[in-house]
Amino acid sequence: MRDDVLLSGVRENAWRQLPRLAARTSLTPTMLKVAAFFLLLLTLSLGAQEMGREPFRPQFHFTPERNWMNDPNGMVYLDGEWHLFYQYNPEGDKWGHMSWGHAVSRDLVSWEHLPLALAEEDGVMIFSGSAVVDWGNTSGFGKDGQSPLVAIYTGHREKRQDQRLAFSNDRGRTWTKYEGNPVLDLNLADFRDPKVSWHEASARWVMVVALPAEKKVHFYSSRDLKAWERVGEFGPAGAVGGAWECPDLFPLAVEGEKGATKWVLIVNLNPGGPAGGSGCQYFVGDFDGNRFAAETQAAPLWADFGADFYAAVSWSDVPVTDGRRIWLGWMSNWKYAEAVPTAPWRSAMTVPRTLSLRKTPEGMRLVQRPVVELEKLRQEGARTFSGGSFLEAAEWLKAQADLAPLLEVEMTFAEVADKTAFAIDIHTGPDERTTLTCDPATKQLGLDRSRSGQVAFHKEFASGASAPLRFVDGRLALRLLLDTSSLEIFAENGEATVTKLIFPKAGSRQISLTSGPGANPLVSGITIRALRSTQ
């Protein structure tokens, strides 16, 4: 047994034994209080030891308690709970024995870990998929007038993948695999990741599912979630340099155009992403319940330009009163995911993000913003620079030398010069820095993590990333979310995002501004907020 498991067990069992001790002995209330005090000290001590061995554990991003995690799965909302299932190996910290882990949240910020939901069984692994609330009990799985949760997932065994069902009538706490599985089988080795939703216009279920090797997705329809009919396909298109995986399909509102919506088709692929390895692309168009017609695009559209955003899918059954389309992605990359220097867990999810579409001169673009619920993590005492020259802002930042490890940073620039680049550095100690470069000449935002901390664990980890920037009226707005081992960048109010892992030393941060000769944009404002941990 690993030390981390042993320590966790010691703490849990100690607290459980205290009521039993009181019931079976003649200890006085005072003596019990003393015992409780020493148990508290033990808990804090062991907890500190655990955290000391987990220097890169994210503090406001979801991670499994231990072992391996990859794609988010089965994301569904029901009775005030946001369900997050995920690809999970219950037996180790590398890929294998794929099953569905499970957690729930009431605020998209703090998560409660629940027991394993769907386990590998009889040689069939549980690959990625989705979950829906079957409000009309079209499947017949509901009982006592309840609307069941139904999971639609890929069953995987060697050289064969098919689509299967499981259902729950107790808010996802226990699951029953459908005895009629599989419900869709094409006798293919690569046929996976079904995303199912209710299509209101045709009053039926629609599934989009990937054929990775063919760079295609197929569309199926069903009245009962059990019998499926193929109605259309899409692809190859866009980026085709890797296997197509983890599709999603949903309507999305267009900003500033009341009542206007377009359909968005998500296709993750690996390799072939914008920063190498894994990537998430999207298409904008129209969907009639059978076929998806994409608008013309000159080049692939990327949801995120960093190396560590993959398998992103959205929550289903979000109440109309909420009205948001929310998703998150796996915050890693298949190139080095098994090598990252974390223990006893591997991998994290991004923060949940709210989606919309924005009309730009180049066409429709996907917009992502961190969910507003994250604002409850903001601590009091924000540090603000109310505006001034670039040099004044740089001097102000020099004085902010003891920033918290967990940060939200907002920066707005105006009158950005046409040619000269400037840089934002995030420091942890004298030798570690993560560098963002804003280049008006190329209209690009670069991210360099080659000196960000531990990078030698994989030869390709130190690689950079670049995202397109649109300087509207010479202005640029940036929002950064900095956790223990990750950086998420939202440029131009979410029009371009960059997500990257970093593994710096623990301790306080510092931010600096530098530029080449002649660069002197105005800095309209800087706000730096320390964030609370959810752990």
Q: Does 271 sit behind a cis peptide bond, omega within 30 degrees of 0 on the bond before it? A: yes
In our burial notation (b when 16+ CB lie closer than 10 A, e otherwise), range 224-256 reads: bbbebeebbebbebbbbebbbbbbbbbebbbee
Tell me the C-alpha distance between 247 and 365, whole Å. Answer: 18
Closest CA to 273 of 435, 460, 86: 460
Write the CB contacts of 474 (distance below 8 Å, at least 6 apart in sequence).
Answer: 414, 415, 416
- 286 touches 357 (CB < 8 A): no
425 is catalytic: no
Catalytic residue among 4, 71, 193, 448: 71
- 460 touches 336 (CB < 8 A): yes
- 436 touches 424 (CB < 8 A): yes
Provide the token pair at 179.
Answer: 């005895």
3-state secondary structure 87-154: EEECCCCCCCCCEEEEEEECCCCCCEEEEEEECCECCEEEEEEEEEECCCCCCCCCCCCCCCEEEEEE
In our burial notation (b when 16+ CB lie closer than 10 A, e otherwise), range 320-334 reads: eeeebbbbbbbbbbb
Tell me the C-alpha distance between 190 and 177, whole Å. Answer: 22
Closest CA to 75 of 125, 111, 119: 111
Place of tokens 């359909």: 263
Give catalytic residue positions: 71
